[in-house]
Amino acid sequence: MNIQIFGSSKCFDTKKAQRWFKERRVKFQYVDLPSKGLSPREYQSVKQKLGFEALVNTKCRAYEDLYMAYLTPAAQEEKLLENPVLFQTPIVRNGKEATVGYHPEIWETWE
């Protein structure tokens, strides 16, 4: 298993996901999303699995400040990659599999 957790240190669901994997002694790589972001290839892999709408946090302040609701889909993707704060967290990847949010019932099937 090759687990990656993309999240924010301020996000409670990210902390819960880390704790869930630690309790089961599953090694994972943590990536701080606000500072590092997702690479374009990682983004495409996750987007292909989950869809664009699942990745965007429509409730964050940056979503309104950047007028995301009024942009074209191509411009929205560009803004999302430029501003990793817009991502819904945590994004948990295991190879080509991915989830957004806290979903231990899905992670159990990965083991």
- CA-based end-to-end distance of the chain: 7
Residue 1 has pLDDT above 80, yes or no: no
pLDDT tens track for 50-102: 999 999 999 989 999 999 999 999 999 999 999 999 999 999 999 889 999 99
Q: What is the DSSP string of 37-102?
A: ---HHHHHHHHHHH-HHHHB-TTSHHHHHTTGGGS-HHHHHHHHHH-GGGB-S-EEEETTEEEES-
pLDDT tens track for 3-52: 999 999 999 999 999 999 999 999 999 999 989 888 889 899 999 999 99
Identity of the residue numbered 22: K
Cα–Cα distance, 3 to 109 (Å, whole number): 13
Nearest partner of 99 among 41, 36, 13, 25, judged by Cα: 13
User: Across-strand partners of 30?
Assistant: 5
